[in-house]
Structure formats: structure tokens, C-alpha cells
Amino acid sequence: MYSIEVNNLTKKFGDFTSVDSVSFTVKKGEVFGFLGANGAGKTTTIRMLCGILEPTSGDATVGGYSVMKEPNKVKTRIGYMSQRFSLYNDLTVEENINFFGGVYGLIGNELEERKKWVLSIANLEGKEKLLTGSLPGGIKQRLALGTAVIHKPEIVFLDEPTSGVDPISRRNFWDLINNLASGGTTVFVTTHYLEEAEFCNNIILIDAGKLIAQGNPEELKTNYIKHKILEVECERPVDAMEILNKVNFSPDISIFGNNIHVNVQEVEPAKKELKRILEQQHSIKVIRIDEITPTLEDVFIHLLESPTKPSSKEGAINDERMPNIESENKL
């Protein structure tokens, strides 16, 4: 039933604990999202799960093998797309495919057949001789995914595969991820783009090496946010927000488009009070007040207790507390 079972997995570098006693399970054939800011410990965890970095303590079973005791067997069960795409820029598209096919032991007809498949998912049919370094980011990313699963592994680890790629390519890439999962592959994917969590069957969130939330998108929204969110449509929303802030109506009031979002404990009393303040005291007409479902972004921001919302329009977690050391390991 489970492709991956993680038990108190821990990695220390000297005195510094990069991954702190993390436990979770990943079901076969699901898209499992691993979220966290830069430096949270995502890459370190993936490298332990791939059998290329020895845990300090704890263990994980990946594809039926222990990463502590049988890391080389783990490697035969998985594909791995490392954070900065595992491709060689100075090789042609075909040379990269041949190289990774060779690494994974493919030869002859099987290699030819899988090469065709990789070229088709990367939209590179007839372009085998192009230099990989000359490809646009979105195409390179698809080629990297193709080569990571050229040997049809049962589990694939994708480390920030969509980082630095334009939004349309990112969207298309998620279709590709979903196709892989529908075909039975377990996809373990890290991202720091909050909105991408919505595309995952299950999610864990880590912060400073510790697991701080887990569940499917619905569970995260209901289990971790206890307050309610009201969306208020009214005249002069900026003035209205200032008024509500001045009377400390709620600790969290923000403008979303032309509306105001207000966190409250109880919906009905808050609605009445809000109308009273805006309409009666300040003659600002309230057009409607609706309770809205929180987005995953609301949940994560709330959990990470970030004093400010992410500045990026794309909703990346913006946390530069720790430097991000990354080494390029290829399987």
C-alpha cells in the first residue's frame, strides 16, 4: 500500500539539525507534495530517501528497501530529478537520453522505444540533435523528467522541478506529473510554490527541518485553520480597511482585489458588527459579506506565522532565513 514509509528520519551536519525526526507515509501512485521554504530541509530529505545521503538516525523504506541498510537497492526502484535538472547542457538531446538510458541499464529496442517516449513528452520529436543548453526552460524541464523516468521506476523524486520556469510551462508540467501518477508511478515532488500544493493528493509542510502539517488539501484547510475568513465587498475598500484596522476589528485584515478579507472567530456577530461600524458610523455602504474557504496559501502562511505575506505574485514562500546549500548528485 505504501511506496515510502519514513520513521523519525534525521540528518545532522555537525551541530546543525537539517532534518529533525520526520515521519510520514506515501501511498502507491499518489502525487505527494513536499512543501517548505528555502533551507527547510527538502533536498536533504530527498537525498536520504534516494539512498545517496546516509541518515544520522531514523530510517525510511522506499520501494520496499531500507535507506539505511540497502541504499543501493533503493536506487534500483527510483528515478530522481535533482534541483537544478540533471541534464548535461553541452550534450545534445539524444546524447542526454542515451546517457541516462545507459545509466539505468536500457539498451537496444527498449532504449529506442523509451527515447521516442521521452522525445514526445518533451515536445522534441525531430529535434534530437539540438544542444540541450539551447532549449527553453520549460522544454528542458520536461526532458529532465523524461530522462528521470526513462527506466519506468515505481517512484520518482522531483526536487523543485518547476522552480524558475514560466507559469504556463509549470501548469503543463503538472499535467505531465498527473499522467505519470495515473499510470501508477508514485510522484514525490518538492516545491516552494504554495499554489502547486493544490495539485497534490497529499502534502507535508516542513519548517526548519520539522514537519509542521500534513494531510490532503481539504484536511489542511479544515484542520489547521480555526478562524473564519470573511470577504467584504463595500464602497471605498481602502478607507474601510483603515477604519477596521483603527478599531482593531481583527488582527488580520487585507485587501484582495476590490474586496477586503477579514479573519474572525464567529461569523454572524462579526458580520453585524462590521456593518454597524462601516455603514452607521462611517457611511460606507456594504454590498455583501460572505464567508469564504481558506486557500492553502492562507493555511501555510498561518502555520509558518510569517509576519508578511509572500511578496512574489506567484506565491513562493519567501524565507531567506537560511542559506540554501545544494550539491548536484546524480544517480
Tell me the closest approach of the beta carbon of residue 1 to ligand ADP, in angstroms: 27
Q: Which does 292 bind (CB under 5 to 8 A by kind): ligand ADP, Mg ion, none?
A: none
Query: Which residues does 198 contact at the CB level (< 8 Å), separation at least 6?
Result: 217, 295, 296
| 294 touches ligand ADP by CB under 6 A | no
**Is residue 211 part of the contact set for ligand ADP (CB under 6 A)?**
no
Per rule CB under 5 A, is residue 263 in the interface with Mg ion? no
Burial of 17 from C-beta contacts in 10 A (0-12 / 13-18 / 19+): middle
Residues of span 26-45 touching ligand ADP by CB under 6 A: 36, 38-44
Q: Which stretch binds ligand ADP (CB under 6 A): 24-32, 105-113, 305-313, 319-327?
A: 319-327
Q: Is 43 in the site for Mg ion (CB under 5 A)?
A: yes
Rounded CA gap, 296 and 218, in Å? 9
Which of residues 126 and 323 has its CB atom nearest to ligand ADP in the complex? Answer: 323
Strand-pairing partners, residue 229, are 263, 292
267 binds ligand ADP (CB under 6 A): no
Dihedral pair phi/psi, residue 306, rounded to 5°: -70, 130
Closer to Mg ion by Cβ: residue 42 or 151: 42
Q: How far is CA 252 from CA 19, 98, 237, 277, 329, in A?
A: 32, 54, 15, 17, 43
Q: Give least dist CB 29 to Mg ion, A.
A: 25
The residues, ordered by sequence, that sit 6+ positions from 160 with a Cβ below 8 Å of its Cβ are 42, 83, 190, 191, 192
In terms of CB distance, is 204 or 289 closer to Mg ion? 204
- Which range binds Mg ion by CB under 5 A, 29-37, 51-59, 77-85, 243-251? 77-85
Beta bridge partners of 254: 261
Calculate the dihedral angle through the C-alpha atoms of 139, 143, 144, 149, rounding to the nearest 10 degrees. 140
User: By CB under 5 A, which span of 27-35, 78-86, 100-108, 217-225 interacts with Mg ion?
Assistant: 78-86
Closest CB 301 distance from ligand ADP, rounded Å? 17
C-alpha cell at 277: 461600524
Residue 289 DSSP SS3 = strand
- Residue 210 phi, psi (nearest 5): -110, 140
Task: Write down the least CB distance from residue 217 to Mg ion, Å.
Answer: 22
Query: In the complex with ligand ADP, which residue's Cβ is closer, 39 or 217?
Result: 39
Q: Does 13 bind ligand ADP (CB under 6 A)?
A: yes
Q: Is 108 in the site for ligand ADP (CB under 6 A)?
A: no
Residues engaged in binding ligand ADP (CB under 6 A): 13, 18, 36, 38-44, 322-326
Residues engaged in binding Mg ion (CB under 5 A): 42-43, 83
